[in-house]
């Protein structure tokens, strides 16, 4: 018996800027198949994407054994519902809405569904997987102002963070128009301050360069923050292992 049920993303292609959030709806199309088990597992790259929330849209899910959950460190999303009963639609319906945040520039990053390894995405009835295909979600992330709170363009210019990703050391450079006091700090994505790289005065009109030691940090995404009396500006720093 041919497997014809489908799972799709709406939209299936997204273009956003760094720092923006966007919503994607997971659609289930049983294609007139009988379905009593929905098991969804999704993978994404946490360097580029962060899940903000998941909302269950289908009230017919009568037995949510695994409520929608996500892990922004591992880059996983999972949900499952069993014994859906006669209330499940036989045609296309909206199951869940996922809100993502774009973290870092990428020409193309994907949200995928494993179908051949456990745990895998499936639509089943009476022990038989009826899922024929799953469409990937493709996201293009354009450059954008990650965070800019009060610092004028002519206060701090030519701000560069490199190499990015970094494995041992990263370097941040910038030029200040005026003599000022700055603090250079490192945070994790939960907002916990991990280190103060520098705190003091800097001269105007010259390139200031500071070293960030990442050798003891786990792989992931961090935030380097430059703070002046005018405000703060952040840059994402990726640590690779």
- Residue 113, CB half-sphere, CA atoms under 13 Å: how many? 22
Confidence label for 145 from pLDDT (cuts 50, 70 and 90) = very low
- CATH value of 5-142 in 1.10.3720.10, 2.60.40.680, 3.30.1490.20, 3.40.640.10: 2.60.40.680
d(Cα 124, Cα 136) in Å, to the nearest integer?
A: 20
Report pLDDT for 59: 59
pLDDT digits (tens, 9 = 90+) for 8-26: 999 999 999 877 899 999 9
Q: Which residue has the tokens 């500006």?
A: 233
pLDDT on residue 89: 64
- pLDDT greater than 70 at residue 139: yes
Question: Can 5-142 and 147-239 be said to share one CATH topology?
Answer: yes
Q: Count CA atoms within 13 Å of residue 142 on its CB side.
A: 5
pTM (two decimals):
0.64
Closest CA to 48 of 85, 22, 14, 75: 75
180, 186, 191, 194: CA torsion to nearest 10: -120
Per-residue pLDDT of 179-228, as tens digits, reads 888 999 998 877 788 999 999 999 888 889 999 999 999 988 888 988 88
pLDDT band at 168 (very low <50, low <70, confident <90, very high): very high
Structure tokens at 177: 């128009």
* Exposure b/e, 181-197, CB count within 10 A at least 16 = b: ebebbbbeeeeeeeeeb
CATH code matching the domain that covers 147-239, chosen among 3.40.50.300, 3.20.20.140, 3.30.2040.10, 2.60.40.2550: 2.60.40.2550
According to the model, what pLDDT value does residue 84 have? Answer: 58
- Residue 232 burial (CB < 10 Å; 0-12/13-18/19+)? middle
Token pair of 213 as six digits:
């030691």
Give the residue extent of every domain in the chain. 5-142, 147-239
């Amino acid at each position: 018996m041919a497997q014809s049920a489908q799972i799709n993303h709406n939209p299936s292609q997204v273009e956003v800027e760094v720092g923006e959030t966007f919503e994607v709806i997971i659609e289930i199309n049983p294609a007139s198949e009988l379905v009593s088990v929905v098991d969804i597992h999704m993978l994404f790259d946490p360097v580029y994407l962060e899940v903000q929330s998941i909302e269950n849209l289908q009230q017919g899910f009568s037995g949510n054994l695994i409520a929608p959950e996500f892990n922004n460190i591992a880059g996983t999303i999972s949900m499952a519902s069993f014994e859906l009963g006669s209330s499940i639609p036989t045609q296309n319906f909206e199951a869940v809405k996922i809100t993502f945040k774009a973290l870092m520039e990428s020409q193309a990053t994907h949200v995928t569904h494993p179908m051949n390894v456990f745990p895998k995405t499936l639509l089943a009835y009476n022990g038989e997987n009826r899922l024929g295909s799953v469409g990937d979600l493709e996201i293009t992330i354009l450059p954008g102002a990650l965070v800019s709170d009060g610092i004028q363009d002519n206060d701090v210019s030519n701000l560069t963070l490199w190499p990015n990703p970094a494995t041992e050391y990263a370097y941040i450079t910038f030029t200040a128009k005026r003599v000022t006091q700055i603090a250079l700090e490192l945070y994790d994505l939960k907002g916990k301050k991990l280190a103060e790289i520098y705190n003091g005065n800097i001269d105007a009109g010259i390139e200031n360069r500071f070293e960030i030691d990442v050798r003891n940090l786990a792989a992931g995404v961090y935030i380097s923050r430059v703070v002046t009396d005018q405000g703060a500006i952040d840059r994402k720093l990726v640590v690779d292992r």
